Amino acid sequence: MLDILIAGGWAMVPILICSAVALAIVLERWWTLRRSAVLPPGLGDEVRQWARSGQLDPGHLEALSNGSPLGELLAAALGVRRQSREIIKERIEDTGRHVVHRMERYLNTLGTIALIGPLLGLFGTVIGLIRMFMEVMGGGIGDPAKMAGGIGEALICTASGLTVAIPAYVLHRYFHSRVAGYCVQMEKQATALLDDLTLGALAPARTRRAPAPAAPSVG
């Protein structure tokens, strides 16, 4: 394998760097985007129970916010729980954009590697072909080994670029779909909490504001 990489020439260096970066991103995102780390089981129900029982001291909210992306989203809603529904919804949306941005961290880099991998392979191919033609121009076509060296360098670079680009593209799409799925689940949990904080709290208030029935007239 090492001999093959060396035969690819110096154009293999950026391809190898891209492969190392892509591998690091995949491993990091795979660990960070675990379902248990993003959507801890039962967290939404537990937080709604906190809201009903009034267990919402600053310590609870800070631990909730630092525990997971879903916890950060729910803690943002609880932080303004005494405000109107519109304000709570805006806070959830603002926090959600930041949470999604963090979940998609490094995915643009992975997509860029998937895009430039074949281009780097093509660049190495062109360099190999140029070297082959230079050898032919300098020594004629009587030495097949010189031509084979240039063709081999070109083919190795092409194969290496595709080997890096194809898995990077597949995993880039996979992680994007995983983040999109998490967003749907977090939106459902945030909406359920929003309903508990607003609709559940407004019902008693409406009852208290209901006008008293008129006293019956004395005939």
pLDDT tens digits along 31-88: 999 999 999 999 988 888 888 877 677 887 888 889 899 999 999 988 888 888 899 9
Both structure tokens of 211: 């006008």
Over residues 79-103, the pLDDT tens digits come to 888 888 899 999 999 999 999 999 9
Both structure tokens of 80: 């303004």
Question: For the chain, which residues make up each domain, given as ranges?
Answer: 2-202
Residue 151, pLDDT > 60, answer yes
Average pLDDT, the chain: 82
Nearest to 160 by CA among 5, 2, 3, 26: 5
Residue 144, pLDDT > 70, answer no
Residue 216, pLDDT > 80, answer no
Give the gyration radius of the chain's Cα atoms: 30
- Residue 214 pLDDT: 47
Whole-number Å distance between alpha carbons of 160 and 124: 10
Whole-number Å distance between alpha carbons of 46 and 68: 14
